């Protein structure tokens, strides 16, 4: 009994290690298969009308591409709009800081002086020439005064320039990686849809000639396709709720382009947690630019965090659990697991992967206990 449990634990850890090690292949494969299962009803209908499987598949993927492009344009427009107003935001912050402490040495100046003193003390320790207490204090004050006189306004500017360069490089790498994965996903979807019934029959043939086994495999495949469409339906419902709530909140706060922000919120919620975190940052920035108060920005950020927690986590997990007949804890734990394993792609694909795992377990004799554990 102990040996059997040890073997199961080792096998589970081996599978997790394989999923992490092979993510560059497995992520596009999983996403491509899910996309094929999602759009196969549309492809079948188009094939009946067009009498050409190639034309039906190409047209289906064009619809998906146009949808993704429109979403990217909407989100990109909002992101560029906020980025263009960053200088204005910096000016507002600087003005408020100047008005808050017009006389005497400000907190920022004292903090800057203290950091320069710390930097000089570290240089002395590295050089192996420690100074006396009084000498250290005098030298630090002299050094800080000289530094302030020589470079009064360059440190923040230089740091911001470096941060922008690093962000641009890392952001470009992320975009290139995403574009590469997306192209592979579309190719996988194309060839799977082109295979059609022939590919499905060959897949079922992998399970041997036992009719009962093939029937279970066929039922599992059809149920997986149905659950993927249910998952997308739940996602549309929760995203619509979040988009409408953000639209209403931004309208009440008298922010510009409230409808555009509502659409942006619905798009960002496709990626759980990370998407709403980005929306919270952008929404707080937009509120600060409109009202020029930190209180208003903090209030909007609080509202968006509560909204993402209530709808994005609780309601989404509950609806997904009801649709797939799973308990909400399983959905949430699965999302955390796949997010830790595959990062952003794991957060995006995680809920669907958890549902597919339950479907496969239900139609497998060895997975019945796991399916009961996941059942709602």
Render 253-276 in DSSP notation, one character per residue. TT-S-HHHHHHHHHHHTTSTTHHH
CA–CA distances in Å: residue 256 to residues 69, 72, 162, 305, 344: 23, 20, 31, 21, 30
Please report which confidence band the pLDDT of residue 153 belongs to, taking 50, 70 and 90 as the band edges.
very low
- The span from the CA of 205 to the CA of 215, in Å, is 11
Question: To the nearest whole number, what is the mean pLDDT of the chain?
Answer: 77
- pTM of the complete model: 0.71
Domain range holding 241?
2-374
The per-residue pLDDT for range 91-118, each reduced to its tens digit, is 766 676 666 655 445 555 666 666 666 6
Q: Is the pLDDT of residue 201 over 60?
A: yes
CA-CA-CA-CA torsion sign (134, 140, 142, 143):
positive
Judged against a pLDDT cut of 70, whether residue 331 lies above it is answered with yes
How confident is the model over 258-313, as pLDDT tens digits? 888 888 888 888 877 778 888 888 888 888 888 878 888 898 889 988 887 787 66
Integer CA distances (angstroms), 50 to 10, 36, 53, 108, 189, in order = 51, 19, 8, 69, 19
SS3 1: coil
pLDDT at 335: 82
Tally of domains in the chain: 1
What does the pLDDT read at residue 142?
Answer: 47
The pLDDT score that the predictor gives to residue 71 is 83
114-123: average pLDDT: 65
């Amino acid at each position: 009994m102990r040996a059997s449990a040890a073997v199961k634990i080792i096998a589970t850890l081996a599978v997790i290690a394989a999923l992490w090690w092979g993510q560059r292949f497995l992520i596009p494969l999983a996403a491509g298969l899910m996309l094929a299962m999602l759009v196969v009803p549309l492809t079948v209908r188009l094939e009946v009308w067009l009498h050409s499987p190639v034309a039906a598949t190409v047209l289906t993927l064009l619809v998906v591409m146009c949808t993704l492009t429109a979403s990217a344009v909407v989100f990109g427009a909002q992101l560029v709009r906020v980025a263009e107003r960053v200088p204005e935001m910096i000016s507002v912050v600087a003005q408020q800081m100047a008005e808050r402490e017009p006389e005497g040495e400000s907190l920022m100046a004292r903090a800057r002086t203290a950091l320069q003193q710390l930097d000089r003390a570290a240089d002395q320790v590295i050089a192996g020439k420690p100074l006396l207490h009084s000498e250290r204090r005098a030298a630090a004050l002299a050094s800080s005064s000289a530094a302030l006189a020589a470079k009064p306004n360059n440190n923040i500017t230089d740091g911001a320039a470096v941060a922008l360069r690093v962000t641009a490089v890392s952001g470009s790498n992320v975009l290139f990686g995403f574009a590469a994965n997306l192209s592979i996903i579309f190719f996988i979807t194309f060839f799977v849809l082109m295979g059609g019934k022939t590919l499905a029959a060959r897949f079922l043939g992998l399970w041997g000639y036992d009719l009962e086994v093939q029937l279970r495999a066929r039922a599992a495949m059809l149920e997986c396709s149905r659950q993927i469409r249910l998952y997308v339906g739940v996602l549309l419902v929760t995203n619509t709720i979040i988009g409408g709530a953000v639209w209403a909140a931004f309208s009440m706060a008298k922010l510009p382009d409230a409808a555009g922000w509502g659409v942006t919120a619905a798009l960002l919620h496709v990626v759980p947690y990370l998407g709403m975190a980005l929306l919270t940052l952008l929404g707080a920035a937009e509120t600060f630019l409109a009202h020029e108060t930190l209180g208003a920005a903090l209030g909007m950020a609080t509202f968006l965090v509560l909204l993402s927690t209530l709808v994005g986590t609780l309601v989404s997990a509950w609806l997904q659990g009801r649709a797939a007949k799973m308990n909400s804890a399983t959905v949430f734990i699965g999302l955390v697991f796949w997010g830790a394993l595959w990062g952003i792609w794991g957060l995006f694909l995680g809920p669907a992967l958890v549902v597919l795992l339950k479907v496969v377990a239900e139609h497998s004799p060895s997975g019945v206990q796991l399916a009961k554990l996941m059942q709602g």
